[in-house]
Chain A
Amino acid sequence: MEAKKNKVFIDCDEAKHICDKSQYNESSLWDRFRLNIRFIYCNITRAYVKRNQTLSKLVSDEKVDCMDNKSKESLKTKFEQQLQNHQ
């Protein structure tokens, strides 16, 4: 595993994995370097990176929102009570 981590040339699956992590700023500098190397010569990686970056841009905070978990749980509890009264 350690040997795999030290390799400069990575396979496509690993490149995708690093790319996914990069969308959340969770990849290391070394990983990003290796991804960039593969990016230069691999069409599949290039397409994946482009697609993934577009998705991240679309799902930015301004455009998509969802209820936070606590509120949802509290809503669930209240709604279940209503549901029981209703039945």
Chain B
Amino acid sequence: MPRHQLDPNKWIDRYADYLFNYTITRVSDRDIAEDLVQETFFSGLKSAVNFKGEASERTWLVSILKRKIIDHYRKINSNKGKAEVRINYKDGESEGDWLEERVADPFDRNAESTIENKELGLAIHNCLEKLPQKQAEIFKMKTIQNFDTEAICNEYNISASNLWVIIHRARTSLAGCLEENWFK
């Protein structure tokens, strides 16, 4: 008996945001990220028969997504290769070595902090998945997508004070979860 089973009907609600966040930090383009997430779900559906149930649904989808991201970069790099034959450049004002200027600067801390931010983003999504669905959705709309209070109240047909109670509960649970999983 497999330990995990697939439930494609709930994939979008459960994993779309997590996979999107995973992708956007790697491709930095919303449209491409959305396309890759969509392709991942479609591929997942096609290869659902191959799912052995050893990994969780999300881990399995992430492994498909990783391949999609690699394919995406292979595709754009093969196009780039044709265009970037010239390594040295010289124009009216400047001259230099294209490759040399792209060698990583050992004192540049950006790469490290970027990786940390990616991991943090995923940790936050992990914690959001543990919240009740409505609470998580409202929190995301308010905090990440910056919707107005009124717009959210209309969408969910709730009062403003009800919204603030939901936000308070979500923030408290999220802070607790992050303290447990991120700061430890």
Contacts and interface: CB of A to CB of B under 8 A. Distances in A.
Interface of A: 16-17, 20-21, 23-24, 26, 51-52, 54-56, 58-59, 61-69, 71-72, 75-76, 78-79, 82-83, 86
B144 A61 contact: yes
A66 B12 CA distance: 12
Contact of A65 (B21, B45, B178, B182): B21
Nearest to A68: B145
A66 B141 CA distance: 9
A58 B124 contact: yes
Contact of B175 (A52, A66, A75, A83): A52
B32 interface: no
B123 to A, nearest CB: 9
Nearest to A55: B175
A21 B20 contact: no
A24 to B, nearest CB: 7
Interface in B21-38: 21, 24-25, 34, 37-38
Contacts, number: 91
Q: What's the dominant secondary structure at chain B's contact region?
A: helix
Interface of B: 8-9, 11-12, 16-17, 20-21, 24-25, 34, 37-38, 41-42, 45-46, 117, 120-121, 124-125, 140-145, 149, 164, 167-168, 171, 174-175, 178, 182
A66 B171 contact: no
B38 A64 contact: no
Nearest to A17: B164
A68 B46 CA distance: 25
17 contacts: A17-B168, A20-B164, A20-B167, A20-B171, A21-B164, A23-B171, A26-B149, A52-B171, A55-B174, A55-B175, A64-B21, A64-B121, A67-B37, A79-B8, A79-B38, A82-B42, A83-B8
A72 B125 contact: no
B115 to A, nearest CB: 12
Contact of A76 (B12, B17, B140, B167): B12
Nearest to A26: B149
Contacts of A71: 34
Contacts of B117: 62-63
